Amino acid sequence: MRQKFIITLTSVRGSRQYTLSQVAGYLLALFLILAALSFFVSNLLLVKTREDLSGLELQKQALEDQFSEALGTQQLYLERLTELSNHFAETFYERSQLEEENLRLDADLSELESLLGFMGELPPQATAAERSALLKAASIQRLFLLHSIPNGLPIKGVRMGDRFGSRLNPVTKRRSPHHGIDFPAPTGTPIYATADGIVEQAGFDQGSGFGNLIVLQHNFGFKTYFAHLSRLSVKAGQYVHKGQKIGYSGNTGRSTGPHLHYEVRHLYSPIDPIHFIRWGLDNFESLFTAVEDIPWESLSAMYPLNQSAQQ
């Protein structure tokens, strides 16, 4: 008798039996075995896939972290680059400013050299600092001399009258030496000191014909005389500075009209005031060649009058 497989299926409606041949039973068993193997293999593959996915997820997270770190580093580099760019721009601007200042300094020094009459006299290899130091010393020296020796006008806004030299005296009607310069001016016109000094005399001078007279004593043996004044603003023994108001023009003494009589003397010898009136910083050397009666050499030994004398 051939062997058969009987399969019984039970449900709520009852039981049914199915009869399979031996071959069909083997095939069914084989199918079930393959299905079971497939189930287990699928589970194994699923587990492996999950592990791979987890590994990929970790790798993805690591890459994201590296990417974020790279972005942060790049941002840091960009910020640093921007900072360096700004610093470079500031440095370039400062350098430009320094170059402009150096150019301005050179121009200012050249202008000062020209004003002081030192063009071409300073050493060509001298730096700006050395040039500045030399010019500063020369400026201080010259300003000191310009405050010590009479220079400039003693009265403002008026023309010159009778000059220094021989003239017909308007009072005596005879030719006689005129030791100063007259400045016709309304009574009460301010009079100014032409150098620093001390008031040697201030008051009415009997017998000279100067009337109200101020005599200022200056450095290096110089004196200045201001005559025919209407009023005095200083007293004998008082110190005065260049440009200080010392009195007012008038018509006192032997005078034919209101004016200022102004004299410059050196060791009591009258000197033409015109050279001193025209003397200043812009023509500093002119006085020492125009006025020959004064031993400027001894003064030059104390205060060199030009750069070549200092070298």
Q: Write down the residue that tokens 């009591």 correspond to.
A: 268
Distance CA 298, CA 308 (A): 16
**Is 274 domain-assigned?**
yes
In a domain, 284, yes or no: no
Spatial separation of the C-alpha atoms in residues 190 and 188, rounded to whole Å: 6
Single out the residue in 106, 131, 148 at which a domain terminates.
106
Q: Are residues 270 and 181 in the same domain?
A: yes
Q: Are residues 193 and 272 in the same domain?
A: yes
Instruction: Tally the domains of the chain.
Output: 2
Q: Which domain holds residue 40?
A: 1-106
Cβ count within 10 A of residue 39: 10
Judge contact between 250 and 212, C-beta under 8 A: yes
Question: If you average pLDDT over residues 123-130, what whole number do you get?
Answer: 65
Is 136 among the domain residues?
no
pTM of this structure: 0.61
DSSP summary character for residue 250 = B
251 pLDDT above the threshold of 90: yes
100/169 same-domain check: no
Domain's final residue, options 58, 83, 106:
106
Give residue-wise pLDDT tens across range 21-48. 666 666 767 777 887 787 777 777 777 7
Residue 277: name the closest of 199, 200, 224 by CA: 224
Question: Which domain-ending residue is among 91, 106, 121?
Answer: 106
Instruction: Please report whether residue 143 resides in a domain.
Output: no
CB atoms within 10 A of CB 129: 9
- Please check whether residue 125 lies inside any domain of the structure: no
Q: Give, rounded to a whole angstrom, the gap between the first and last alpha carbons of the chain.
A: 149
Highest mean pLDDT among 15-24, 264-273, 281-290 belongs to 264-273
Is 246 a domain residue? yes
63 in a structural domain: yes
What percent of the chain is helix, strand and coil (3-state, nearest 5)?
Answer: 45, 25, 30
Q: Is residue 295 part of a domain?
A: no
Confidence of residue 258 (pLDDT cuts 50, 70, 90): very high
Does 1 share its domain with 89?
yes
Domain of 227: which CATH number? 2.70.70.10
The secondary structure of residue 264, as a DSSP letter, is: E
The partner residues of 215 in beta bridges, in order of sequence, read 201, 225
* The pLDDT of residue 307: 44
